[in-house]
A = this chain, B = another copy of it.
């Protein structure tokens, strides 16, 4: 019988030749990691292999030597390309045999989908089970999962499609896998900062890192620069989820103390969610006049469920005429200062606020590139203004770097951040 040692380390094996091309990437491992972390299992290694029995066998051997739990996804389909069962059974020295109950289920499933011909015999490959393995029901597809255990550890073979893999793994984590974990869990918290560069955040927080490391239950911290925001990822391993949450809560409060209003979320929220929550909280509505961002700010705001309560309207005013027509920008202002100018951004913000009769108006005008730049106003120059009832209009000119889409995103982030800062100052 298998030795029952607690599971603390896992390796993830993603199978599929498409995952080795320039256009596809394994994303299942993110969900798998999240689920395993919930029950205190850390991922120490990820491997991606093609539909090759030999490569898969070698990768599986390494995975098995580094971790007590190996989770594979993919390669359980009915075709010759699907070699996970064979490769793993080979390494473990377990002969494959057809499980008649699975075959019967596959036939029934096939018939239920209204096919008039019987199930192709090739599909019986999905009913092959390594000796001593436990079959995991697939409620969303034809490939059952497999649970194979021996003295060296536990191997889970899961189907590749996320909609099949996710419910199967979640129910294992809530059930038989959860009871086999070490009893601790890894809790994580993502804190996001706007308007600061990475090295500044890192320097300011360095005393905290040392303090967190020395705690009885130490908090791990990683700082990452993302587009338009700096992220601080905190993690703590603890037997008590309440204790872990309390530790992360204290750490988050310390970060806010050190960085102030530059912290826009201590709960991993997106900027558009934070701004949306503030608008709901203060019962305000917003309208936007976007030029170089081309609708991206409004699209981000409307990614948030319930945003129809506060997003009143937006106009995308690429041309000078539409800036005048839809955002009430005087043509003389454009003639004097140019369409990309702080003055025009202010006129756009105030114009759309007044036209839409809302509380908050935003105006954004800039040069997203790659063309359109000049020595005076290079590509990446973006003027942003926020007008709100009862406040002075705020405006600022930014210089972003990067490709067109990156400039658009950074401009959208800066505009939302200006709205956020205006709202929290009221």
Contacts and interface: CB of A to CB of B under 8 A. Distances in A.
A55 B22 CA distance: 26
Chain copies in the assembled complex: 2
A37, A290, A302: residue with the most chain B Cβ atoms closer than 10 Å: A302
Interface string A343-381: 000000000000010000000000011111000000000
A408 interface: yes
6 contacts: A22-B31, A25-B25, A25-B27, A44-B52, A294-B299, A295-B299
Contact of A30 (B23, B46, B231, B369): B23
Given A66-B55, A295-B296, A404-B303, A190 B33 contact: no
Interface stretch (A136-144, A166-174, A308-316): A308-316
Interface residues of A, number: 77
A271 to B, nearest CB: 15
A406 B368 CA distance: 26
Interface in A176-195: 188, 190
Interface stretch (A57-65, A82-90, A258-266): A57-65
B45 A55 contact: yes
Given A23-B233, A58-B65, A295-B299, 14 more contacts: A18-B233, A22-B30, A23-B30, A25-B26, A44-B55, A45-B55, A58-B62, A294-B295, A294-B307, A295-B296, A298-B316, A299-B408, A302-B316, A316-B316
B306 A317 contact: no
Interface stretch (A211-219, A273-281, A318-326): A318-326
A288 B326 CA distance: 13
A369 to B, nearest CB: 7
Contacts of A33: 20-22
A305 interface: yes
A238 interface: no
A37 B22 CA distance: 9
Contacts of A314: 295, 315-316
A58, A65, A224, A295: residue with the most chain B Cβ atoms closer than 10 Å: A295
Nearest to A297: B295
A22 B188 contact: yes
Given A58-B66, A295-B316, A25 B18 contact: no
Interface of A: 17-27, 29-31, 33-34, 37, 42-50, 52, 55, 58-59, 62, 65-66, 188, 190, 222, 224, 231, 233, 235, 288, 290, 293-299, 301-303, 305-308, 311-319, 322, 325-326, 356, 368-372, 404-405, 408
B45 A49 contact: yes
B326 A313 contact: yes
Contacts of A66: 55, 58
Nearest to A223: B18
Contacts of A47: 45-48
A130 B318 CA distance: 55
Given A66-B55, A295-B316, A303 B408 contact: yes
A246 B97 CA distance: 46
A303 B292 CA distance: 10
B315 A313 contact: yes
A20 B37 CA distance: 11
Nearest to A317: B313
Contacts of A294: 295, 298-299, 301-303, 307, 311
A30, A37, A222, A293: residue with the most chain B Cβ atoms closer than 10 Å: A222
